[in-house]
């Protein structure tokens, strides 16, 4: 904890950070471990989250405890999913090599259109309510299964399916409004 305290400017920030560290360290570690299934990676993501928190303490200090915890959890989950995604890009079998060959064989105009649609969808998802955002991003961006999403969010798989279905219907309506065809099930 000492290395984090050195990054803070005021005694008030240090005290607040110590409190967050003591209250949330174990829960953060177990959350990261649930997502990553690797102790070392979980420890690294908790460390990175605490480093990020040192930059945002002033915003958190006046928040109620639950809002602070939600902020911490959001940062931690994003770091874990980003690491998980990076590790998926490790090429260790021919299937991934085939996918890369497909990308290079794709026509530039088709690729640009696909990337523009993906960018639009991500922007629109960020405008949806929080529960829809979380489920859609975990399901499509981080490629988690319903059961995994339920575990991460502390919900039942049935509830996640319902949220996903409602979110996809909402997204489909929004995409139609923008004149984008809904060819990927969102």
Residue 186 lies in a domain: no
Q: Which of 68, 88, 108 is the last residue of a domain?
A: 88
Q: Which of 71, 88, 105 is the last residue of a domain?
A: 88
- Range(s) of the domain holding residue 7: 2-88
Residue 183 lies in a domain: no
| pLDDT by position in tens, the chain (length 186) | 656 667 777 888 888 888 989 999 999 999 998 888 889 999 999 999 998 888 888 878 888 888 888 889 888 988 898 887 777 655 444 444 455 455 556 566 666 666 666 666 677 777 788 888 888 877 876 677 888 788 777 789 999 999 999 988 888 887 777 676 655 445
Residue 159 lies in a domain: yes
Question: What's the per-residue H, E or C state across 141-160?
Answer: HCCCCHHHHHHHHCCCHHHH
Residue 48 lies in a domain: yes
For the chain, how many structural domains are there in total? 2
Q: Give the integer Cα–Cα distance in Å for 83 and 150.
A: 20
Residue 182 lies in a domain: no
100, HSE (Cβ side, Cα atoms, 13 Å): 9
Q: Are residues 43 and 117 in the same domain?
A: no
Q: Which of 40, 70, 88 is the last residue of a domain?
A: 88
Q: Are residues 108 and 75 in the same domain?
A: no
Q: Give the integer Cα–Cα distance in Å for 59 and 82.
A: 24
Residue 41 lies in a domain: yes
Q: Are residues 113 and 171 in the same domain?
A: yes
pLDDT of residue 102: 55
Residue 132 lies in a domain: yes
Q: Are residues 155 and 119 in the same domain?
A: yes
- In this structure, the number of other CB atoms found within 10 A of the CB of residue 16 comes to 18
Under 8 Å CB-to-CB from 163, ≥6 apart: which residues? 131, 132, 135, 155
Q: For residue 65, give the nearest of 129, 19, 32 by alpha carbon.
A: 19
The CATH number of whichever domain residue 15 belongs to comes to 1.10.1740
The CATH number of whichever domain residue 123 belongs to comes to 1.10.10.10
Q: Are residues 81 and 106 in the same domain?
A: no
- Which residue's structure tokens are 């997502």? 35
Q: Give the integer Cα–Cα distance in Å for 152 and 146.
A: 10
């Amino acid at each position: 904890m000492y290395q984090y305290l050195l990054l803070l400017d005021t005694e008030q920030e240090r005290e607040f950070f110590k409190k967050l560290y003591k209250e949330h360290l174990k829960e953060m570690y177990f959350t990261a471990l649930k997502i990553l299934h690797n102790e070392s990676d979980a420890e690294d993501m908790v460390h990175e989250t605490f480093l990020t928190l040192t930059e945002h303490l002033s915003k958190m200090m006046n928040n109620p405890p639950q809002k602070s915890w939600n902020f911490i959890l959001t940062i931690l989950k994003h770091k874990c999913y980003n690491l998980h995604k990076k590790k998926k890009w490790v090429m260790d079998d021919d299937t991934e090599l085939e996918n890369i060959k497909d990308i290079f064989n794709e026509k530039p105009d088709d690729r640009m259109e696909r990337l523009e649609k993906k960018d639009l969808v991500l922007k629109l998802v960020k405008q949806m309510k929080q529960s829809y955002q979380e489920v859609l991003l975990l399901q499509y961006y981080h490629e988690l299964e319903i059961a995994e999403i339920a575990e991460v969010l502390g919900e039942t798989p049935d509830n996640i399916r319902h949220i996903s279905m409602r979110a996809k219907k909402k997204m489909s309506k929004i995409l139609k409004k923008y004149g984008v065809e809904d060819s990927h099930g969102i």
